Amino acid sequence: MYFLLVNLSLVNLLSISVTIPKLLQTHLSHRKTISFYGCITQVFLIIWALGTELLLLSFMAFDRYAAICHPLQYTVIMRKEVCISIATAVWVAGMVNSAVHAGLMSQLSFCKSHIINHFFCDIPPILDLSCSDTYLSESMTFVSDVIFGIGSCGLTLTSYLFILRTIIRIRSTEGKKKAFSTCSSHLVVVSFYFSAIIYTYIRPSSVYSLDKDKLVSLLYSVVTPVVNPIIYSLRNKDFKEALRIITGKGRQLLRI
């Protein structure tokens, strides 16, 4: 789990590095512009981060399944070689997926408005601006949604169904609490992240609303990467003790 958390942290760092610096530069300089190739590069990096994180979260669910449902075989199932192979495959798959999208979008023509109705360059708002045939790009987006979105969500749900069945069979209340706390942090992150991704990408194009989409995009591109370390640290005793001290001091200041 800690090995996968390191990879998740790197993905979150990539996601924030792609969006936040440009947003800050735009806000401070009051120049809301980006070059065409800069925009395509931003699409490549953000899609790489999103696809990689989806796959990572699903394999983290499988890791929790192995730990709870097969504790005696856990060290064999999730041995070092398997973890490294999974992490490598996840990063490569995310890169290939983003390269396909960025390559197709770089071939599009833009003869209408060049104003992107979004906080950063993303697939839906750019396709909406294009005056050329976007059928191939939309088709590849659909295929990517099925493989990365629905596939990852399916693997995650399947893992948690087996986990839930195992937890129900545990007789002691203490054992149930311990098993549930093992995957509670990951379940919270998955719920936030998957709901935002599914809303943005996996739905009919007829119900797209760019004004709403750009607000939801902040949830998976900015809020989730920032909140992830806090959520996963809640099980750390030192972190909880420090949080308790800070909360106590805050209450004392309010009383004064």
The answer, yes or no, to whether residue 221 has pLDDT greater than 80, is no
Identify the weakest region by mean pLDDT among 30-39, 110-119, 221-230: 221-230
Query: Which pLDDT score is estimated for 133?
Result: 83
Nearest to 104 by CA among 143, 59, 58, 69: 143
The C-alpha atoms of residue 202 and residue 205 are separated, in whole angstroms, by 9
DSSP, res 145? I
Structure tokens at 151: 């596939």
Query: Which pLDDT score is estimated for 93?
Result: 93
Task: Say which CATH number the domain at 172 has.
Answer: 1.20.1070.10
DSSP string, 170-229: --SHHHHHHHHHHHHHHHHHHHHHHHHHHHHHSS-GGG--HHHHHHHHHIIIIIHHHHHH
Please state the domain count of the chain.
Answer: 1
Structure tokens at 70: 């097969």
Nearest to 84 by CA among 159, 4, 186: 4
Average of per-residue pLDDT across 170-193: 73
Cβ distance 105 to 202 under 8 Å? no
The C-alpha atoms of residue 225 and residue 62 are separated, in whole angstroms, by 21
Containing domain of residue 182, as a range? 2-255
Query: Which pLDDT score is estimated for 89?
Result: 93
Nearest to 49 by CA among 7, 13, 11, 3: 11
Residue with tokens 């399947």: 158
The answer, yes or no, to whether residue 100 has pLDDT greater than 60, is yes
208 falls in which pLDDT band (50, 70, 90)? low
Cβ distance 194 to 145 under 8 Å? no
Q: Which amino acid is at 229?
A: P
Q: What global pTM score does this model have?
A: 0.81
- Rounded alpha-carbon distances, angstroms, from residue 127 to 36, 131, 132: 14, 9, 9
Structure tokens at 39: 């925009």
Query: Which pLDDT score is estimated for 92?
Result: 95
Nearest to 196 by CA among 54, 91, 98, 56: 54
Contacts of 156 (CB under 8 A, 6+ apart): 57, 58, 61, 190, 194
Average of per-residue pLDDT across 242-252: 67
41 falls in which pLDDT band (50, 70, 90)? very high
Query: Which pLDDT score is estimated for 251?
Result: 63
Mean pLDDT for all residues in the chain:
80
Identify the weakest region by mean pLDDT among 34-38, 57-61, 125-129, 209-213: 209-213
- Rounded alpha-carbon distances, angstroms, from residue 249 to 1, 39, 231, 243: 33, 45, 22, 10
